[in-house]
Amino acid sequence: MDYIKIRFGEDFDPLGSKFEKTIEDMFRSMNPRFSLCDRTWNPQVDMYETPEELIIRAEIAGVEKEDLGVEINSKAVKIYGTRRALSRIDNSSYRLAEIQYGRFERILFLPAAIDPEMVSSAYTNGFLQIRLPKLQQERTYKIPISDG
């Protein structure tokens, strides 16, 4: 498992911290609607493996089942769809806008061969779960060689 380095405070890397703070201040001073442009976003995904299958979980709260699609082939899984924006309250202005709306897409390359005929999926409480059974490894048999 890879670890993410987290730093606290500004004394760790003074030059980098000042640069990041300047960028953060610049965006904070802007109207937060800049994040609402029409672009594709990536849902967060977990993928884990058992000896028998690969399991993918995607966090896509607020997406209607009808606005969700999954495509697979022997090498990859594509999760895509649209999250529709919630209506805004009249006479309000954003102070923070982090929820991403619009089209989304995520393509995951698979670490093992799967059986596409046996794949199943379920969507519950804002999480899409896809179960991808692995193809059984071909067995090698020793063949006796007879004389002449």
pTM of the model: 0.65
First to last CA, the chain: 55
What is the pLDDT tens value at each position of the chain, 148 positions in all? Answer: 454 444 444 444 445 545 555 555 555 445 444 444 446 899 999 999 999 999 999 999 999 999 999 999 878 999 999 999 988 888 988 888 888 999 999 999 999 999 888 999 999 999 999 999 998 777 778 888 888 7
Question: d(Cα 101, Cα 45) in Å, to the nearest integer?
Answer: 17
For domain 36-87+99-133, which CATH number applies: 3.40.50.300, 2.60.40.790, 1.20.1250.20, 1.10.3720.10?
A: 2.60.40.790
Per the structure block, which two tokens stand in for 80?
A: 């895509």
Per the structure block, which two tokens stand in for 107?
A: 């393509």
Q: Are 40 and 103 in contact (CB under 8 A)?
A: yes
> What are the structural domain ranges in the chain?
36-87+99-133
H helix or E strand, kind and range, residue 19: helix 14-29
